[in-house]
Structures are given as structure tokens and as C-alpha cells.
Amino acid sequence: MRVSLAQVAAVADAAACRELALAALARAAEDGADLVVLPEYASFFDPRGVDVAAAEHVDGPFVTALRAEARRLGVAVVAGVTLGSDEPGLASNGVVLVDATGDLQGVYRKVHLYDAYGERESDRFAPGPFDEPPTMRVGDATVGVITCYDLRFPESARRVVDAGADVLLCPAAWAAGPGKVEQWSVLARARAIESTAFVVAVGMAGRGVCGSSAAIGPDGSVRARLGLEPGQVTVDLDHADVVRARERNPSLANRRFAVVPRERADG
């Protein structure tokens, strides 16, 4: 699978964000990519905070444009989009999975909201449900999704692997700050090593966030990396690397514990 990491700098203008996303798809197609990954909040971003005012329906302008362009170019796309929720006054931090025919294969709604480092995402967003994680087939790979703060919770990645994914996609708007780039890098590599899976971590560029997107191999090796500024890089991920890693290090087969959602366990 050839995947393109589109580290855009989204803005507080929905129409401009659609143009950024469509341009990223076009570049991915030029590079012969099978899949392009855009960051969290790709549909609208304000470093001061995104709220329900930016929410769109899953059939709204952003996702509709992505689906049409994916179909036209024959490139799958995964992107962060602010969606509505069933809770009054709160949005949903979503990620859509669109295949190369333009079909919507799934929607992930962020489970772990960023109530950390002085931020309160839960004041503006409702947490996603504990549904089976959505996955999508791209070539010989199965991709699944976690989002930003989810990366700090290894059980989130493990649930996606248990759902069949061998490539973990992590769209993010990773907040800037002391040590944050290093944490982003270490956590992405840890999720890859413990899951014996590829991790494609795509961060937002721009004010208040730290970019630093990377594609990580199932052995923790960095296959591609971007810096702080907007950019796009395309990299080949060989499914045989996952097979070899899981043969050498059968940690998934050797584990002794399953992952169960906390509310289900408490109930």
C-alpha cells in the first residue's frame, strides 16, 4: 500500500479547508498513492478551540467533496471532520474512512477527549461510543483509526488491531508545548511496536500544533517523517513487514489479557 501523509495547516474557514483537502488528494494521486491521510479537524481548525459551530453532517460539504474527489481520482482518504452529536451544544470529533470508489466505509468518533494540559475538549465535544472500531481494506492492508489523544491509551490501538487492522492511522492536532513533539514520536513508535503494526500518525501544522507527521514500521522504525511546517510525503508500506514482525515477535498471540471497554466492564 502506498500512503500519502498530508500535513496541512487547516484554518477557521470551511471552504478553504475543503480546498486544502482536495489539493492533498490531487498530490496523493500524482504520487500514485492508494490512500491519503489528513489530520484531525481537517474540515475546520482554530487553535483557540473548535466547537459545535464548526460541525457538519456526515453528508455535508466536506465529506461530500472528499467522496467525489476520491471517486474521481481512485484514491482512498481518511480525514478528521467535526460532526454533530446527539448531545445539545456539543459536537463530535470524527474521522471518516472513504474508499477509492468514494463509498463511506466508516466513521470513528473520538473516544478519549483531550481533558489534559489545561484543555477541556469535553466542554465542546461528546465522546464517541464503544462500538466496534471501523476498518477499511486498502490493497492488501486493513486500516483502522484512532485520533490524537487516543494515542496515549494503548488499549485504543489494541482494540483496532483486534478488529483486524494491520495499519493504525492516527489523525491529530497535537498541541504544541515543551516535550510534546518527543511524546508524539515516542507514543507513535510504541503503538507500532506493541501492535506489530504500521502506524501512520498525521499531525496538523500551524499555530498551536506541532505537525511532525510520521509513518512507523511494525518494528518501530521511522519510514517517513515531516517537520513542523505544512508538507506532504508519500511512502510505501509492505504488508510482508507486518507478517515478518508478527512471526519474529508474536506478542499479540502471547498476550494474556483482552481489552474490554471500561463501562462494559463496570456494568
Q: Where are the domains of the chain?
A: 2-266
Q: Is 180 a catalytic residue?
A: no
- Grid cell locating 213: 507527521
Q: How far apart, in Å, are the Cα atoms of 146 and each of 8, 29, 172, 201?
A: 18, 24, 9, 9
Catalytic residue among 110, 121, 170, 210: 110
User: Which parts of the chain sit beneath pLDDT 50?
Assistant: 267
Amino acid identity for residue 191 in this structure = R
C-alpha dihedral sign at 18, 64, 138, 27:
negative
Quote the pLDDT of residue 110.
98
Is there a contact between 2 and 32 (Cβ–Cβ < 8 Å)?
yes
Task: Give CA–CA dist 187/233, Å, rounded.
Answer: 21
Q: Under CATH, which architecture does the 2-266 domain have?
A: 4-Layer Sandwich (3.60)
- Grid cell locating 241: 513487514
- Grid cell locating 195: 501492535
Quote the pLDDT of residue 244.
97
Q: What are phi and psi of 262, to 5 degrees?
A: -60, -45
Quote the pLDDT of residue 236.
98
Write down the residue that cell numbers 481533558 correspond to.
115
Task: Give CA–CA dist 141/121, Å, rounded.
Answer: 32
From the list 30, 25, 32, 36, the residue with the least C-alpha distance to 3 is 36
Q: Is 110 a catalytic residue?
A: yes
Catalytic residue among 56, 69, 121, 148: 148
Task: Give CA–CA dist 40/174, Å, rounded.
Answer: 9
Q: Is 148 a catalytic residue?
A: yes
Quote the pLDDT of residue 260.
85
The answer to whether the pTM exceeds 0.85 is yes
Instruction: Give the alpha-carbon dihedral of 136, 114, 154, 177, to 10 degrees.
Output: 110
Quote the pLDDT of residue 264.
56
Q: Please calculate the CA angle 120-20-13 and round it to the nearest 5 degrees.
A: 55
From the list 32, 3, 1, 8, the residue with the least C-alpha distance to 22 is 8
Catalytic residue among 40, 56, 69, 121: 40
